Amino acid sequence: MLNRFLGIATVVAGIAVALPAFAGDIAVKDAWAKESIGRAPNGAVFFTIENNGEADRIIGVTSDMADRTELHTHIKKDNVMKMRRVEGGIDIPDHGSVAFKPGSYHVMFLDLHQPLGVGQHIKLTLQLEKAGNVPVDATVLSLSDAAKMDHAPMIRQMQGMGGNKGSGMGGQKGSGMGGQMQMQGNGSQTGDCAGQMQMQGTGAQTGDCVRQMQKQP
């Protein structure tokens, strides 16, 4: 099973995403979006924003890609993850980072002017309280490549396990992978994905496609 994850990690490393954008102490890296499905009116952009200076806050976002461009996140209500617009901005800690990823923070395009095509570059601007405007160039990925990016946080945690004991392998309960998945061994070395992975869609629906995964070596 570990070999399978490492294989995916190699593929993820080969996916071409946009070059980092910088503004003072702020850097935006690995910006990407999923291709549109059919005539889907909405889309989303994901990235990691790093801050090498004092604390700051994202207070807005603009783009010519859609009628409305907003900061969104997901909240859990009645055991269901629902998408919501962020009010009041998103804090970026000093010398820290914030990940915009499926199931969490993201930039939402509402009523796209045209579908998002594979290989297309999307331009948007993050508005920060102190750093000012930060331009972002995101690359549109195919659905298959986007799925690999969705799995990247889990893969990085798998690689970080190394040979550590008591990390969820070989019968020990593990910590949450990517904040959402637990792996348990049962003596037969069967992994049970006890968590759920949230997939942000770009179709007409604003909800999530929730997948439960079971993996066996």
Residues of the chain predicted below pLDDT 70: 1-19, 21-23, 150-217
What does each C-alpha distance from 93 to 42, 89, 209 come to in angstroms? 30, 13, 30
Question: What is the longest distance spanned by two Cα atoms in the chain?
Answer: 55
Give the whole-angstrom CA distance, residue 93 versus residue 51: 7
Provide φ and ψ at 34, rounded to 5°. Answer: -90, 145
Architecture of domain 17-144: Sandwich (2.60)
Q: State the pairing for strand pair 66-77/214-215.
A: unpaired
Q: State the pairing for strand pair 80-85/191-192.
A: unpaired
> Looking at residue 128, what is its pLDDT?
97
Tokens of 22: 């910088």
> Looking at residue 167, what is its pLDDT?
40
Q: What is the pLDDT of residues 65-90, one digit of tens each?
A: 999 999 999 988 888 889 999 999 99
β partners of residue 80: 77
Tokens of 134: 């930060």
| Amino acid letter, residue 124 | L
* Alpha-carbon Rg for the chain in angstroms: 18
